[in-house]
Amino acid sequence: MERLKQYAKILVGYSIKVRKGDVIQIKAGIEAEPLILEIYEMLLKKGAIPKLNLYLPGQKYKYFRYANIEQLKHFPKIDYYEERNIDGSIIIITESNTRELTNIPPEKISIRSKVLKPLLDARLKKKNWVLCAYPTNALAQDAEMSLEEFRDFVYDSVCQNWYEESKRQDKLKKILDKGKRVSIIGEETELEFGIKGRKAIKCDGHYNMPDGEVFIAPEEKTVNGKIFYSFPAIYNGREVSGIRLEFKNGKVIKAKAEKNEEFLKTIINTDNGSKYLGEFGIGTNYKIKKFIKNILFDEKIGGTIHLALGNAYKEGGGRNSSSIHWDMIKDLRHGGEIYVDDILIQKNGKFKIKGLS
């Protein structure tokens, strides 16, 4: 219970800014009731106005299974109004079945993603939100852990000094901010892209919890080479493994996968921007050591990188626009290298920068 209180305290006292009178949205599944109530109480004690949006197990499946085209294309005006008028939000992942959309046609998911993009843009523009996770049996099963083990995994990754982590990330941000070109070498991987004029963004617990990455937007048409992703990539519950991508002048020109290749190609062709990279991130959370098929945790693993197809976060100078943002993770802890302007900054998952590893 003490760690649950600490988790809530980090979310309310560090991750988002809360002032007296602020309307703060809590968006979660009912499985997260203990964490929801802790957050709710803390918000009230700060003089804020909590706005609770709950969803039910199986609700997402029911929607995509039975919604027709008109319903999929319906724009949620009330939700859009709320996103534009709240002062902050805490979104809690509470999966009861992480594979419930496996047999849903990807075209339906793609259509709905396009419709909901203005809501995502409104939240990103607000810059006072955090995405986190509550330990559930479904997430524990994906992680191949007992629920008790998964709780420990979550709390260990979250309950740390985020002020110190922020200072640590400054060193990596400084290198990327001054850099002009990045090269990644690894298993079946030789990839290069420009970052000149782009600004790296620290991920130190204000938008994700757990956090622990520094990312930057590649120059859109400079990405060239190939990459093999050693971990499966998951999008809306659909797992795609053995992904191999080839880029030319920024664009994906070849896409292969050992599992669910057609789904991969469908999502890549969602729109023009989904064929280009919107993000290059470097994981810095060395308390997360295991891949658990959950992007909130996996993209933060110390010694990994991730590259996201689709939408770029504009505050760092990225220009790519898309209704998707699909992070794909590569493990560099066994034979990988990262170069910035031909200077080796990481080898085998260990930084060559003092104070980072």
Q: How many CB atoms lie within 10 A of CB 216?
A: 26
Is pLDDT above 80 for 355?
no
Is pLDDT above 90 for 323?
no
48 or 104: which leads in pLDDT: 48
pLDDT score for 258? 97
pLDDT score for 42? 97
Question: Rounded mean pLDDT of the chain?
Answer: 94
Report the alpha-carbon distance of residue 346 to residue 95 in Å, rounded.
Answer: 34
- Taking only the tens place, the pLDDT of each residue in 228-275 is 998 999 887 789 999 999 999 999 999 999 999 999 999 999 999 999
Average pLDDT over residues 16-43: 96
Report the alpha-carbon distance of residue 11 to residue 129 in Å, rounded.
Answer: 10
Rounded (5°) CA angle 92-95-97: 170
**Strand spans (E) along 57-180:** 88-93, 129-133
- Strand pairing class (251-256; 244-248): antiparallel
Average pLDDT over residues 307-327: 91
Average pLDDT over residues 180-187: 97
Out of 318-322, 335-339, 344-348, least confident range: 318-322
**37-46: long-range contacts, CB 8 A cutoff, minimum separation 24:** 38/4, 38/5, 38/7, 38/8, 39/8, 39/11, 39/12, 39/90, 42/8, 42/9, 42/12, 42/13, 43/12, 43/18, 46/12, 46/18, 46/19, 46/20
Rounded (5°) CA angle 270-272-275: 80
Is pLDDT above 80 for 172?
yes
Average pLDDT over residues 173-198: 97
- Taking only the tens place, the pLDDT of each residue in 54-92 is 999 999 999 999 999 999 999 999 999 999 999 999 999
Domains of the chain, CATH where assigned? 2-158 (3.40.1830.10), 162-351 (no CATH)
Label residue 249 exposed, middle or buried (CB < 10 Å: 0-12, 13-18, 19+): exposed
98 or 37: which leads in pLDDT: 37
Is pLDDT above 70 for 35?
yes
Is pLDDT above 90 for 186?
yes
pLDDT score for 21? 96
Average pLDDT over residues 163-177: 95
Report the alpha-carbon distance of residue 1 to residue 16 in Å, rounded.
Answer: 22
pLDDT score for 86? 95
Average pLDDT over residues 26-49: 96
Global pTM reads 0.83
Is pLDDT above 80 for 309?
yes
Rounded (5°) CA angle 224-228-232: 130
